Structure 1
Amino acid sequence: MSMYILALLGNLLIILTVSSDSHLHTPMYLFLSNLSMVDIGFISTTVPRVIVDIQTHCTVISYVGCLTQMSLFIIFGCMDDMLLAVMAYDRFVAICHPLYYQVIMNPSRCGVLLLGCFLLSLVELLFHYVVALNFSNCEDYIEISNFFCGPSEVLKLVYFDTVTNSILRFTMGTLFGLLPISGIIFSYYKIVSSIMRSSSSSGKQKTFSTCGSHLSIVFLFYGTAIGVYFTSSLSYSPRSNAVASVMYTVVTPVLNPFIYSLRNKDIKTAFRKILSRAF
């Protein structure tokens, strides 16, 4: 409950700070505020249900409830993936093509990128729904070895064949996980190459400081998510799977606003302005 409240307050504070300061009305902070909104939805998909289950000592979820939770988890999780890739692209344009930044990252282009993130999330959801249609052929009561109905858990319920399960998992993980992270890696490869060609040490330090927050979240989110999605099909451990799931479904949304606010001078300056106006 404490972590959930902390995540809500931290992400709402980021949204309030960005929306209230006109100096932060740039593509970088537009994507950051959208990431905060997605993080609120992402953590709200799993944690409130866990809190209720702990209080009521009930560990049963209905068929409709399971699919609803899986749907929201896929939408917010995929949008998180895509927004991290879009933010990496934004940094690539700002650092490697600074003179054309305002032209390339114009409001219409930013809107298209955000819409694309949402549409790709719906595509992944539809893909999982087509696979999960066989779920109705399962038994009346089935045990899920995690604290929420995640896509990987539903795949295990639908396909008991290990080979089929692994093929589907790697296919969906590659399409909606590895492709965004490939874009992130390519963007930062170009960024690092551009920095190495620069002779200004202060410019290098400022660039690394700007990208450090984003990279911290990328490593935290993708490291645990990929670990859960891929390694569970090779050597499955319910305990380690649950611990890793907590990391990217609970800990990451909690840490995101603090990583950005503590390492970002613009956010801290805007936050001080809000406090000075309030008091």
Structure 2
Amino acid sequence: MSALNSLLPIALAIIMLGLGLSLTAADFRRVLEQPRSVVVALVCQVLLLPAVCFGLAIGFGLIPELAVGLMLLAASPGGSIANIFSHLSNGDVALNITLTAVNSLLSLLTLPIVVNLSLAYFMGEGRDVPLQPAKILQVFALVLIPVIVGMVVRRHWPAVAARMDRPVRLLSVLVLALMFALVFVSAREALTTHLTTVGVVVLIFNVLSLVVGYTISRVAKLGKPQAIAIAFEVGIHNAALAITIALSPFLLANPTMAIPPMIYGLTMVVTAVGFGLLVNRTSRPA
């Protein structure tokens, strides 16, 4: 266990390096071209989702560790898989890439805040909250530095970035599989005990995330491709990031908190495919 725990920061760095290799400065500049779409997505991601998640945790009476794990999942940004689902579902992939870039940086502030508040509420105010300023700096370093390195490599050595992309993606998949196994071994008793309840909550949260992103976008009179893009960006969370933060001895170090993102990681593909088929069932987006 200790050997695997020591690998978790490296795992997080690999995952975020892969994200950096897919981003360019243009992805951030594109915010100026679609400000309304970005604002709608951020309102859903930063404000609505944590509120929905909090309501589900309270309503279903999740034990504190699982409640915090669910809130951690809600606060985690989207990842490159959201871009893939958006492409397959006729969404605005350029908007997805922009939102991934913005959300990834914004989560450096929002994720510690949401997790801290969740720990204080669900675990008790007298508990020592792990994500204090020193820990926030650790998250900042573990997340932002690999992203910057990836972006620099892509900017100055595009051929190297292209060669690195596939191996880094494969390594990220292997790392994620290892983390799933670690969660199962470390928290199998809690997983067995609470599987039915937390599984239902995670599924509801996943579906609501997609529906909220799409519905709010359409209410805001955004086009269908933009609404699809926002739905996947808001509804597909980076389970690997959430699992790593939950397990890392430098951060939360609680395998039970990793159970919601683990279950989410196993079910989100099914819900994402179903959602993509549903929104495209009558006609292709204009």
Q: TM-score, normalised to structure 2's length?
A: 0.26
**Which structure has the larger Rg?**
1
Q: Which has the higher contact order (CA 8 A, sep 6+)?
A: 2
